[in-house]
Amino acid sequence: MKKAIYPGSFDPLTNGHLDLIRRASKLVDKLYVVVADNVNKKTVFTVEERINMIKLVTKDIQNLEILHTNKLVVEVSRDLNISIMIRGLRNLLDYVSEYQLASFNKNLNPDIETLIMFPSKDMHYISSSAIKELIYHDADISPYVPHELVDVIRNKYSKIVK
């Protein structure tokens, strides 16, 4: 069975994340979406809220499992006997951090291979910080996040950014 792991903070889940989840799920028998704690990011949504958002918009994907970890993702990969890690690459700035992360992960677990996926053409500029900025300026976020999550995301961020 070919398994892969797609980690992220998913705070919030965007159409870019969902695009990668859908496409990656077609490449493997089992895809683990891992909501990972990141010491460099201050999250807005709780772990449970992020997991529930992912579950809500991916319920049609049969080979998907959603997990949370506060461990290194490479350790989770080893624990689950996964050798493929999916990462998204939107731009050159992402390249530097993703290259460094892939190198660290390979050093920690020589069996892990990082598979870089580019976003679909209309998704390369979507980011959580851009969503926050749009909400701050009362702009429409519906083109950038799953429609089922628009109100949830807007309401949560509105309490923080105003």
Rounded mean pLDDT, 93-102: 90
The answer to whether residue 139 sits within a structural domain is no
Q: Over 60: is that where the pLDDT of 144 sits?
A: yes
Confidence of residue 62 (pLDDT cuts 50, 70, 90): very high
Instruction: Please state the pTM of the whole predicted model.
Output: 0.93
**Rounded Cα distance, 48 and 22, in Å:** 21
CATH code where residue 95 lies: 3.40.50.620
Asked if residue 37 belongs to a domain, the reply is yes
In this prediction, residues 65-89 reach a mean pLDDT of 96
**pLDDT above 80 (res 60):** yes
Domain that holds residue 66: 3-121
How far is C-alpha 109 from the geometric centre of its chain's CA atoms?
A: 21
Task: Assess whether 71 carries a catalytic annotation.
Answer: no
- Residue 24 in any domain: the answer is yes
- DSSP strands (E only) in 37-135: 64-69, 84-88, 113-117
Q: Which is the catalytic residue, given 23, 30, 90, 106?
A: 90
Nearest to 7 by CA among 40, 35, 47: 35
Number of domains in the chain: 1
Query: Residue 92 domain-assigned?
Result: yes
Q: Which of 9, 17, 25, 156 is catalytic?
A: 17
Instruction: Respond yes or no: is residue 128 known to be catalytic.
Output: yes
| Residue among 39, 30, 42 nearest 66 (CA) | 30
pLDDT of residue 13: 94
- 41 carries an active-site annotation: yes
Give the contacts of 153 (CB within 8 A, at least 6 positions apart). 12, 131, 135, 141, 145
In a domain, 27, yes or no: yes
| Residue 49 resides in a domain | yes
From 9, 25, 77, 128, the catalytic residue: 128
Pick the catalytic residue from 2, 41, 55, 147: 41
153 phi/psi in degrees, rounded to 5: -70, -45
> Does residue 82 form part of some domain?
yes
17 part of the active site: yes
Does 23 reside within a domain? yes
pLDDT tens-digit series, residues 13-28: 999 999 999 999 999 9
